[in-house]
Amino acid sequence: MQPIQRRILSVLILLAGLAWIFLRADKIGASTAGRIPAPQKGFLAPEFTLATPKGEKITLSELKGKAVLVNIWATWCGPCREEMPTIEKVYREYKDQGLVVLGVNSTYQDNQVGIVPFLEAYNITFPVVLDETGDVARKYDLRSLPSSFFINRDGTINEVVIGGPMSEALLRTRIEEILNSPSN
């Protein structure tokens, strides 16, 4: 075989290999269709059950069929404090359309005594639950406070917003997207 023929054959084999890799690659969780829990867009929101300050238990999967905003926050977090009134405002406007805002206080790194006074000071009416062990923080791969997970009606994550404060326009856009998502 001539050197030029070997080069052409090598290039063809290389191109065939690249085409195979490209065609067989898993496209954004297509092999599981996003049906495994992962704290990222397109995947099921990781399950949790937490208690409110009054002891009432809330389980995320029981909210399936509703559009859910999970907002992980702490009382000492400046951006959390800044975005909380905006979250409350849009919650009141959209709750009758099927929106649930679930505030997950990062209690394991917060002062539990200050949580209820904080909620009262900000007139928070949406449910708040306490992550006392950091389990939700681990499941959601918490890197920064606040962190917000916009969850479609079918339980998959539509958008993740790390940090804050979120603007009212961003909140409205993301909330309208999850409100318009199918519930399967």
pLDDT per residue as tens digits for the range 86-99: 999 999 999 999 99
What is the average pLDDT value for the chain, to the nearest integer?
90
Q: Return the pLDDT at 27.
A: 59
Amino acid 162: pLDDT: 94
Strand-pairing partners, residue 37, are 44
Token code pair at residue 87: 């979250």
pLDDT digits (tens, 9 = 90+) for 7-49: 888 888 888 777 787 777 655 555 555 566 778 999 999 999 9
Is 2 exposed, middle or buried, given 0-12, 13-18 or 19+ CB atoms closer than 10 A? exposed
Quick one: pLDDT at residue 79?
Answer: 97
For residues 4 and 8, give the distance between their C-alpha atoms in angstroms, rounded to a whole number. Answer: 6
Give yes or no for a contact between 104 and 71, defined as CB atoms under 8 angstroms apart.
yes
- The pLDDT score that the predictor gives to residue 17 is 78
Say what the pTM is: 0.80
| Cα–Cα nearest to 91, from 45, 127, 52 | 127
Name the token pair of 177.
């997207």
The mean pLDDT value for 105-115 works out to 93
Contacts of residue 101, Cβ cutoff 8 Å, sequence gap at least 6:
68, 69, 71, 87, 91, 95, 126, 127
Q: How many other CB atoms sit within 10 Å of the CB of residue 112?
A: 13
Mean pLDDT of 139-145: 93
The first and second tokens of residue 109, run together, are 């790194």
What is the predicted pLDDT for the residue at 22?
75
Contact between 132 and 107 (Cβ < 8 Å)? yes
